[in-house]
Amino acid sequence: MKKLMMIFFGLLAVSAWAKPVTVKPQQLVGNWSCSGEHYDKEMGFYAKGHERIQIQADGAFSDEGETSLKEAEKAPYVLNYRAKSEGKWSLENNILTRKIRFLTFERIHQAEAVQDDGLQFIDKVMFILFSKMIQNKIEQTEKYTVHLKNTDTILWRDTKDGLTLHCKRDK
């Protein structure tokens, strides 16, 4: 009986700890450094990136980051890009919605140095896609589930592809 009571109280404590915390918009306001790695099943490549995001209380944000791509898990990252964006954000039921408009997108790598046909194709598609989005001022909407680990650490999990960004508040 004593064991059963310990298991019951143990489960009760774990379930209380695991209960999701509601994140308030003001908890996201500030400057954040975010990073993440992800395998994109649709496109068939690995991506990693780092972003510096400024979230403002008025619902605006700006973001500057670098992304690197590769085809295989053990391969080196070959395609490298830098982008700047801005937009509007909102938070409801721990879902962060960002409406993004890209301002700049540039290659950091030398396109001529990419030898692999598959990577050359990915590079061309990425560059054309982002160039058109910038030229035509197309907004892209992203949605993330937000988990607050503490006041200075949050996780953003993309609701579409599962990409998780680990974000730390800048001091």
Residue 75, strand partner residues: none
Q: Please compute the mean of the pLDDT values over residues 59-81 and round it to a whole number.
A: 91
For residues 52 and 32, give the distance between their C-alpha atoms in angstroms, rounded to a whole number. 6
Question: Would the pLDDT of 80 be above 80?
Answer: yes
| pLDDT tens string 111-121 | 888 888 888 98
Cβ neighbour number for residue 110 with a 10 Å cutoff: 8
| Distances in whole angstroms, Cα of residue 81 to Cα of each of 68, 105, 164 | 6, 7, 19
Question: Would the pLDDT of 14 be above 50?
Answer: no
Domains of the chain: 24-169 (2.40.160)
* DSSP code of residue 115: -
* DSSP code of residue 112: G
Q: Please compute the mean of the pLDDT values over residues 46-58 and round it to a whole number.
A: 95
Q: Is the model's pTM score more than 0.95?
A: no
| pLDDT tens string 94-116 | 999 999 999 999 999 998 888 88
Task: Write down the pLDDT at residue 113.
Answer: 83
Instruction: Answer whether 91's CB lies under 8 Å from 21's CB.
Output: no
For residues 23 and 28, give the distance between their C-alpha atoms in angstroms, rounded to a whole number. 8
The HSE-up count of residue 28 (CA atoms within 13 Å, CB side) is: 28
How do strand 95-107 and strand 79-92 relate by DSSP bridges?
Answer: antiparallel
